[in-house]
Structure 1
């Protein structure tokens, strides 16, 4: 986990001198009781509060352990990798598919766009906590790669379920104790085995996040 970005460091510098400034201004105010000093007090309070509300952002490198993913290192599973096989009901089955998905659990969500699916985000796209424009936060599994068969003949390679080209990104929302964080995962796929890998990701408590690597 990479430490929170430099925005919080700037706020720390402002906080160091905050209380000394307040006491100094109050001393002058008691003597002069001028409107100018009162306005300065208000200004410093606004700066202090804005620093406390400053958004933070972290780069993450989550590992897939036993098909489980912990995105924010709180020792709780946020997503799991699942494999599902579907087939026709005729005997013998004339067709079928195997689908690998990333499933949110514990109330977490993934961003879906109808009718494209889950892997539609690209570089410089913006993820929003409250999204629209045919995009919906879903608690359902995000199907990301599949392989098909006709009778006993399987496709030579797996197919990524995306209309975009690499790099592939999955947008997510973590929900814990009423707090929401959004982020993205950069995914990589093995087209021979269907294996899913996570290259890196970013998580933030801000309302918007631009995908940049």
Structure 2
């Protein structure tokens, strides 16, 4: 497209200022389009990490609950009640991220709190250390996804603005070209545009990937 517009500038009656505007637009569009693709790829990577870290956290929540139930099974009823209440063992593990993050925080808070009511009930630190590590990995990913969403929306909005601007600029090029060449001229392809018969030929052949040029 760019080479074709430069090549046929004088033939289709584009001024130097108009050509400069077109070339600047094309360069900006390519740059923003590539940046948008990068943002999309980064978003995909962050979502994957977020999903993996979330699953890891859920696994450690279940592990802690299993340990707590196992250790309290042989204790007196009042101890079992205390443990169930302190660590939310009667609640189902939620599937929503914000809710199971809150559950993990509650479990860790319960473990770190001084067990005044049942001072003799002691649980090992290892499962809670793993839970804390899983939570520490998830939190930065949550921050990253918020930042990436904002950046992605910004780039998408910028790309959409350029597309609207491009519709006006490139339509002007097309109208200039067909005014000088007509709608059947195959040189339109060099401008990144389709000539009329090429469109009809492409539809007739049902070739959605073809360039519309008659063979």
Larger Rg: 2
TM over 0.5: no
Name the TM-score class by shorter chain: under 0.3
Q: Greater strand percent: which structure?
A: 1
Q: Greater helix percent: which structure?
A: 2
